[in-house]
Every structure is written in structure tokens, then in C-alpha cells.
Amino acid sequence: MTLQNKHILIGITGGIAAYKICTLIRDFKKSGAEVKVICTPNSLNFVTKLTLQNLSQNEVYIQEFDVKNWKPEHISLADWADIMLIAPATANTISKIAQGIADNLLTSVACAFSKKIIIAPAMNVNMWNNPSVQANLKTLHKRGIEYLPPENGFLACGYVAKGRLCSLEKIYNAVEEALNYSDSLKGKKVVITSGGTIEEIDPVRYISNYSSGKMGLALAKSAYDMGAEVVLISTKDFDCPFKLVKVKSALDMQKAVVEEYNSTDYIIMAAAVADYRIKNFSKQKIKKGLEETITLEFVKNPDILAELSNKKSENEIKPIIVGFCAESENLIENAREKIARKGCDYLVANDISRKDIGFGSDENEVTILNKNGEIKKLEKASKNVIAREILEWISTK
């Protein structure tokens, strides 16, 4: 990945974390990027124009009507940039952008910006928890603006709580990743399943598994960033800029995926589907009796992945089917057996004996197999990086 010759537009708003952005500008410059900075007038209480000018080696933009050429500044800056990063982003600026308010140069550029925007909020914990701020963030996120949540730590206001700007490394990586997306999924439709299915026992009880849905979500976000139309079929609720179909059981999931089958290019089954469901769902809450032990009877769920892999398409083109497998031993051997048995085009194998990756974790390390027996090991990385690498492999191999 490289930042060579990329145009990064940084918006700095009025928070104490503004001083940290000086280091980030230097890091971007060292990597070969061109950087321009827009400051809100309040941000200059925390960092000087001269510092930012020296570090970015460019003029610093503050006022909307400092007209230097025929094109309004907010349009020429938006045209110039490959990406816009707003860091630190205050509650005020986040809320204005979400509502389409364009009352200074920074918010006007954000309003006119049609490419990727990443925001890194930083504020007092009570402001962060304010329902309006959270609702505005949700709105932005739904529209495809990525945000990097603040972290816990010492806040300038004296609190030790959530609100501190996330690490500069996280911001740098998010910008670098966003600028290096391939568009190999442009014009394609990708359907992804995520989360552990929920098999109900009675109105208050169910069985499920530890799947957090994070890998499926990371795949969905990456596919979206790579230009695909995305449908995420999930047992977990997420705010996302693409279509989310919320399901519970394996049978619900099967129905939702089959509905998409004839109109999609890829189906990625990242969900942890229960192999069995309760045979007799009790409409009433099961009462405790005198018995010391009880027995529940289960029936087999359909194997959605195997069914899809063997299904006949109504169109000429069958979607490419990708499965995931979770193995606690003999990873490659079991994965080879599973891809042959299920008949999918690719299988992404996870080693669940490792505590540092996989279930619930933000990181993963996987091996991808294809039908022809080719294998690719993806080194340990964030689920976002792994997701992009999986998508790049399956869309080009």
C-alpha cells in the first residue's frame, strides 16, 4: 500500500487533540502524500496556522471567501482531494455535517465532497454520549462516512473516560486503506451473511454461538468501499450504508439468501449457522419441573452453503459462492475436505483454537482455498485488512 502522490485533505476542528494532527501531517508527507489543511476558526485556538503551513508545505485554508481563483475554494478543494479526513471532529462539526449545514469552509467542503470522508471524533464523554451526537454519527455512517470511534483515556476536561482521539496509527491506517481500495467489485452485487444464528427454544430462551458478526461486517464494508452493491444478511444489528436484512434462525437466513441468489454475483457465507435447531419450539415458557435433568431434541438445519453451491441458477451466470470454516484442529486438511463436500468456489479457513484471533476479536488470520486446490495464507491483521484481501483474491483469481 502506498500514499505516494495521494491528495489528502485534512479538516481540523476546535478540540485540544488538534495538536496531534501535526504529527499525522508529517507522517502523511513522509509517505509521499500531498496534504492540504482546512481549519475551523476555533481550531486555531489549539494549533497555529504557521505550524500547519510548514508541516503540510501548503497554504492553510480557513475562510470561505478568501477568493484566490475563479472557482470557489470549497469546490476546488473538494475536487483536488482523493480523501477528506476530519480530525479531531467535534460534536458541533459532526452534527452540522450530518444536517447538511455548510456555515464555514470546512463544513462547506464536506457538503460538496463526493469521495470518501473519514472522521475521527474527540470530545468530552458526556458530549460523546449525547443522543443527538450519536444520532448524527449514525446518520453520517449510514451515508457511507466512516468514523473511527474515540478511545478511553485522560480527557483534557479532567475526566478519565471515552472521548480521546483514537491513535494516530489507526487514523493513518484507515486513510491508507481507503486510498488503496481496488475497484474490482465495481458494478457487482455481493451478498454476505454474518453473526451466529439464533435457534429459539421457547419465547425467552434460545441457543446460539459466540460469533460477533465482525468478520461479515468487515467484508460488507470492504465490498462497499470496492464499489459493490452490498446486502448484509445478519443476526446482529449494525449501522451501515448498505442494505441490512436482519434475521434470527438458520431457516430465516436460508430464505433471505435464496431470495438474493438469482440477482447476485457473489454470496459470502461468513455466518456461523447452527447445524441443528430445536425440534419442538414451545410457544409457552417451559416451566421448571421436578426433574433433575431434561432433554431437548434437535433436528438438522439445512446446509445453506452446500445447497447454494449445488443450486441451478435461473440466469446463465451462477454467483460465486464463498464459505467460511471454523476448525479447532487440522485446519488445511479439514478445509480441503469441506470445500470438496460442500462444493463452494472458495473456502476461508479460520483456526478457532487461537485465542488472539477469530471469534469476537478485531483481528484474524485465515487461509483461503479455491476449488482448484490453490491456497493463500493471509497473515494476521485487522479484520478490515483481511476482508479486503479476501475480496481482492476472490474477485481476481
φ/ψ of 94, rounded to 5, equals -55, -45
Does 269 interact with ligand CTP (rule: CB under 6 A)? yes
Nearer Cβ to ligand CTP, position 73 or 303?
303
Position 271 contacts ligand CTP (CB under 6 A): yes
The distance of closest approach from Cβ of residue 305 to ligand CTP in the complex, given in angstroms and rounded to an integer, is 3
Would you count residue 199 as binding ligand CTP (CB under 6 A)?
Answer: no
Write the binding mask 9 to 28 for ligand CTP: x where contact by CB under 6 A, - elsewhere: --------------------
Nearer to ligand CTP, 172 or 393 (CB): 393
Please work out, in degrees rounded to the nearest 5, the angle formed at the alpha carbon of residue 322 by the alpha carbons of 329 and 181: 110
Smallest distance from ligand CTP to CB 323, Å: 4
Q: Work out which of 60, 223, 325, 391 binds ligand CTP, going by CB under 6 A.
A: 325
CB of 350 to ligand CTP, least distance (A): 8
Whether 157 sits among the annotated catalytic residues: the reply is: yes
Cβ proximity to ligand CTP: between 17 and 218 the closer is: 218
In this structure, the strands spanning 189-194 and 266-269 are parallel
150 sits near ligand CTP (criterion: CB under 6 A): no
Nearer to ligand CTP, 167 or 328 (CB): 328
Q: Measured from the CB of residue 111, what is the shortest distance to ligand CTP in angstroms?
A: 41
Give how many residues touch ligand CTP by CB under 6 A.
13
Kindly tell me which residue out of 88, 121, 323, 358 binds ligand CTP, with binding defined by CB under 6 A: 323
Residue 193 or 384: which CB sits closer to ligand CTP? 193
Closest contact distance (angstroms) between CB of 184 and ligand CTP is 22
Three-state SS string across the chain, please? CCCCCCEEEEEECCCHHHHHHHHHHHHHHHCCCEEEEEECHHHHHCCCHHHHHHHHCCCEECCCCCCCCCCCHHHHHHHHCCEEEEEEECHHHHHHHHCCCCCCHHHHHHHHCCCEEEEEECCCHHHHHCHHHHHHHHHHHHCCCEECCCEEEECCCCCEEEEECCCHHHHHHHHHHHHCCCCCCCCCEEEEEECECCEEEECCEEECCCCCCHHHHHHHHHHHHCCCEEEEEECCCCCCCCEEEECCCHHHHHHHHHHHHHHCCEEEECCECCCEEECCCCCCCCCCCCCCCCCCCEEECCCHHHHHHCCCCCCCCCCEEEEEEEECCCHHHHHHHHHHHHCCCEEEEEECCCCCCCCCCCEEEEEEEECCCCEEEEEEEEHHHHHHHHHHHHHHC
35: cell is: 496534504
Q: Does 275 bind ligand CTP (CB under 6 A)?
A: yes
- Residue 273 as a binder of ligand CTP (CB under 6 A): the answer is yes
Taking CB under 6 A as the criterion, which residues in 283-322 touch ligand CTP? 301, 303-305
Taking CB under 6 A as the binding criterion, the range among 86-94, 97-105, 160-168, 265-273 that sits at the site for ligand CTP is: 265-273
Closest CA to 335 of 275, 375, 393, 390: 375
Nearest residue (CB) to ligand CTP, 15 versus 323: 323
Q: Considering the complex, what minimum distance in angstroms separates the CB of residue 347 from ligand CTP?
A: 8
How far is Cα of residue 94 from the mean position of the Cα atoms in its chain? 19
Site track for ligand CTP across 211-250, x = CB under 6 A: ---------------------------------------x
User: Considering the rule CB under 6 A, would residue 191 count as an interface residue with ligand CTP?
Assistant: no
| Residue closer to ligand CTP, measured from CB, 147 or 324 | 324
Catalytic-role residue among 157, 166, 325, 344: 157
Any contact of residue 359 with ligand CTP (CB under 6 A)? no
Q: Dihedral, CA atoms, 22, 57, 26, 169, nearest 10 degrees?
A: 80
Footprint on this chain of ligand CTP (rule: CB under 6 A)? 250, 269, 271, 273, 275, 301, 303-305, 323-326
Residues involved in catalysis: 157
